[in-house]
Amino acid sequence: MESKLLITVHQAYEAEEIRELLKNNGIPCEFREYGAEGYLRLVGWLNPGGHGIDILVPEKSYEQAKEITRPFTEDYEQEISDEELEAMALAAGEEEEDGV
């Protein structure tokens, strides 16, 4: 089977959600992880930011899979930078202090 990379996710639960979604639409997929990362992620020792989990689909089903998983890919395309995340956390902390 000629496979094409659909998306790379950082958490096993995300990969499983996508697998289930694709399966329900008749599209098989396979996961590709690097080295010991799969085991470390399984036992909870790996933080996001590693290589992640590549989700591959048959090349002939790529366009359909891409459309089905658009909500997931949009989330990854709109990642928040570290600076934005820090600013959001600081703002949330200030709101919490003001509300106490």
CATH architecture of 3-99: 2-Layer Sandwich (3.30)
8 Å CB contact between 65 and 27: yes
Lowest mean pLDDT of 4-8, 44-48, 95-99, name the range: 44-48
DSSP 61: G
8 Å CB contact between 29 and 55: yes
Domain ranges of the chain: 3-99
Supply the pLDDT for residue 27. Answer: 97
Query: Could you report the per-residue pLDDT of 16-54, keeping only the tens digit for each?
Result: 999 999 999 999 999 988 766 555 555 555 554 556 789
Residue % of the chain over a pLDDT of 90: 36
8 Å CB contact between 7 and 76: yes
d(CA 88, CA 23): 36
Supply the pLDDT for residue 57. Answer: 97
Quick one: average pLDDT of 68-74?
A: 81
